[in-house]
Amino acid sequence: MQLKTKTGLALVAMGIGVFSAWKSWVGTRRFVPLDVAMPLAAGESIAEQFTINYDGLYLIEITAEANPSVETLHCLLGVEADVVRCHGTPSPIAANWIVSAHGHELRRGSSTELHTVPVQSQQVTRVIGEFPGKAGETYDLEVTFTSDAKQLAAVNPRMRVAVASIAYTDLESAGALVFAVAFICVMFGGILLGIARHAKRPVGHV
């Protein structure tokens, strides 16, 4: 086998292998390592442990279905920018949270603080906290709800820990770089294979 053929095949295999490995790795990332039902009674708590496998900023969120209406739900979750639209109706969301690892408190906060805006989706989301996460680490989250939120029962509110949008941006940039490398390998490999095949043709062969 000619050197050009061997090199061409190696480059094509490398390009396909790199892209396949990347897709496989991304497919195993847990971008939402925790997703549980939110308690609706004042004084109830959530105490959950979870392990992450992706470095980045993680958001502690309350999500709900966009029902009965998006405008009403924005008011109930406390994410409506124009408070006049809420007609003086306060949001029932009130919670304190603590994130720990290996028995040591890392960060604490409450729903009264401002946090990173979540990724736009079909659900309405209220971010009540955030913390930097390290792949391979196990975290403990404790959230205590201090007000009654039974009026949210119809929209099935859930408590989630999810990767922030900035982490997705980094992932997309890395994915574009991997694709470029894989494409270059396959392209040059194909060129070398084409040259090798042409060189094997007998003189005068059409």
Q: What is the pLDDT of residues 74-94, one digit of tens each?
A: 788 888 767 677 776 778 889
The 10s digit of each residue's pLDDT in 13-38 is: 999 999 999 999 988 999 999 999 99
Phi, psi of 83 (to 5 degrees): -65, -20
Whether the pLDDT of residue 145 is over 80: the answer is yes
Burial (CB count within 10 angstroms: exposed 0-12, middle 13-18, buried 19+), residue 185: buried
The predicted structure's pLDDT at residue 118: 59
Phi, psi of 87 (to 5 degrees): 55, 40
pTM over 0.75: yes
The predicted structure's pLDDT at residue 206: 47
Q: What would the CATH number be for the domain defined by 31-163?
A: 2.60.120.790
Q: Which residue has the higher pLDDT, 197 or 60?
A: 60
Annotated domain spans of the chain: 31-163
Sheet holding 124-133, edge to edge: 34-37, 158-163, 56-64, 124-133
Rounded mean pLDDT, 60-77: 79
Look at strands 124-133 and 56-64 and give their pairing.
antiparallel
